[in-house]
Structure 1
Amino acid sequence: MDKTIETYLNQIVNELNCDEKEKREIADEMNDHLNLLKNEYIERGFTDEEAIQNAIKSFGEQREISNSYQESLFPYYKIFREGTWILFSLYSFVLLWNLLLVRLFNRMVNGDSFNRYFRYPQNYNGIFDIKAWKLNASIIPFKNTFDYINGSHQFNLDIIINNTVGNILLFLPLGVFLPILFKKYNKLPKVVNSSIIISFLIEVLQLALQIGQFDIDDLILNTIGCVIGYFLIKTINKIANLSKKNIFQETKS
């Protein structure tokens, strides 16, 4: 395949939301059409390079072709994508509301007289008091999780669930939304890195604003939830592609 044509086709198929096999099949099909066009221009007396450029120009603009193929692969893709963006926006708001905004609002209303999320040491000297940071930071993995589980008689059940299973479920949707909305998150390492960064920033903000404690367990459990969401959407996608192939094979036969 000519390099110019290959680059042109890659830009088209890389925009498609389908598996790699389907992308290769679509690229091969378009390559056949482009070669026919190229040969027609060569027969008219154009050079090889001119024939390629004219064939690409007459074939069409990449974005329009990609949209047409995506529409044929998934007729309701545009509606699905817009709906997914709306759900992602709602999820992001709920996440930030529960972890930051509502806590910040409560602190603004109550001041330091009542703060269930942050512990103040004796003779507290303000936000730069190292004793406050030590008291509200846990950097030993799973220490607090084991404390919740082993000391279940000391904590209410809702507190145990929120700080263990809740932290997993909270970031599970993130692992679902990222691969759907952003093509660069089709690989697990990208999703894991983003989950760690987002969770870390939230933990740091909670500590800095005195509306929560920095807990390494939260970061770990959030990331586990995001990974579960990633594998969940990948599994659903594989099942959907398999069903689509079976229908296609039945139609052919």
Structure 2
Amino acid sequence: MKLEEYVDQVVRDLPCSRKEKQDMKDELLDHLTSMQQELIEEAGHTERDAASLTIQRFGPVDILKRQLAMSMPLIDKYVRKWVLGLFGLYVAVSCYLLLLSPDRWHRRAFTLDWKARMLQYGAAEYTHIFQNTLPMRTLFDYVLHFEHYSVYTIAYNLLGNIALFVPLGLLLPLLFLSFQSIHRVFFTALFASLGVEFLQSLFALGSFDVDDLLLNVLGGLCGYGLFRAGAAFVYKQRGKAGTDKPFSTFS
């Protein structure tokens, strides 16, 4: 078997993009060619015998393929650039929805007008339109007094707060090894949500609600759960390297 054929068989079904496969193929072929050349020059082997010995030292295709597959990250360096761009887009869209949207600034105008009126009437205690520091208060209110709210309002405030942080829990561990920990995802989602609540309160773009924190963190943990499930599936598929089954992967 020629070295090129051997390398082709090794990298053919690896779970990565074409560019990454080509990079790996070039690197592996370069290393094999160097070893072959050493056997020719130092041991006096023919080119054919040197190629056979080189392949023999590297080991069977199935074993090498499995080792390479299991050592690779979930996404290769080329796909990672696109995922990183997607994460940046997610941050930008989240900032717009939570802090910069026209609806937020209309709400700000109403809030400032309300505070001015309450101060004018000497009722400073009513300047805070709504604040909730009691966990589960808002959630129980939606359940016990659901007839006072529209389905859209309930879905927007409950499912929306969860869904908004799902990409955070999914993309962070996918991009950064240091975030492949449920504790880091938990505290990142918590502090990110706290930051949003603080900015909304500071600029009168919203009101503080501790239940929003709970739902945001829950969304981050749901995203992390999706990451762990996807990672388990990918590594299970990679463990089948050397069989006739193709790989399935995030890339």
- TM-score (norm. length: structure 2): 0.61
The corresponding residue for 1:98 is: 97
Moved over 6 A (4+): none
The corresponding residue for 1:229 is: 223
Following superposition of structure 1 onto structure 2, how do residues 101-250 of structure 1 map, counting pairs within 5 Å? Answer: 101-103=100-102, 106-107=105-106, 112=109, 114-115=110-111, 120=115, 123-124=118-119, 131-133=126-128, 135-248=129-242
Larger radius of gyration: 2
Displacement of 1:94 in angstroms is 0.9
**Structure 1 residues 74 and 186: alpha-carbon distance in aligned structure 2, compared to 1, 3 A threshold:** closer
Alignment RMSD (CA, Å): 3.0
Distance of 1:122 and 1:81 partners within structure 2? 52
Q: Tell which has more relative contact order, 1 or 2 (C-alpha 8 A, sep 6+).
A: 2
Which amino acid is the alignment partner of residue 202 of structure 2? A
**What do residues 11-68 of structure 1 show as CA deviations (whole Å, max 9, x unaligned)?**
xxxxxxxxxxxxxxxxxxxxxxxxxxxxxxxxxxxxxxxxxxxxxxxxxxxxxxxxxx
Unpaired stretches in structure 1, ≥5 consecutive residues: 1-68
Displacement of 1:103 in angstroms is 4.9
Which amino acid is the alignment partner of residue 169 of structure 1? A
**Structure 1 residues 231 and 248: alpha-carbon distance in aligned structure 2, compared to 1, 3 A threshold:** farther
Displacement of 1:105 in angstroms is 6.7
Displacement of 1:150 in angstroms is 2.0
**What do residues 152-205 of structure 1 show as CA deviations (whole Å, max 9, x unaligned)?**
211111110011111111101100011012221111111101110000010011
| 8 Å CA contact retained: 2:74, 2:234 | no
| 8 Å CA contact retained: 2:164, 2:219 | yes
| 8 Å CA contact retained: 2:108, 2:205 | no
**What do residues 90-109 of structure 1 show as CA deviations (whole Å, max 9, x unaligned)?**
111111100101158734xx
**Structure 1 residues 195 and 118: alpha-carbon distance in aligned structure 2, compared to 1, 3 A threshold:** farther
Distance of 2:210 and 2:139 partners within structure 1? 10
**What do residues 234-253 of structure 1 show as CA deviations (whole Å, max 9, x unaligned)?**
110111110111133569xx
Which amino acid is the alignment partner of residue 151 of structure 1? H
**Structure 1 residues 162 and 237: alpha-carbon distance in aligned structure 2, compared to 1, 3 A threshold:** same
The corresponding residue for 2:85 is: 86
Distance of 1:224 and 1:211 partners within structure 2? 23
Distance of 2:222 and 2:90 partners within structure 1? 17
Report how many aligned residue pairs link the two structures.
175
Distance of 2:163 and 2:201 partners within structure 1? 22
| 8 Å CA contact retained: 1:207, 1:214 | yes
**Structure 1 residues 211 and 150: alpha-carbon distance in aligned structure 2, compared to 1, 3 A threshold:** same
Q: Percent identity?
A: 27
Displacement of 1:120 in angstroms is 4.0
**Structure 1 residues 165 and 194: alpha-carbon distance in aligned structure 2, compared to 1, 3 A threshold:** same
Distance of 2:198 and 2:125 partners within structure 1? 15
**What do residues 73-98 of structure 1 show as CA deviations (whole Å, max 9, x unaligned)?**
36971221001111101111111100
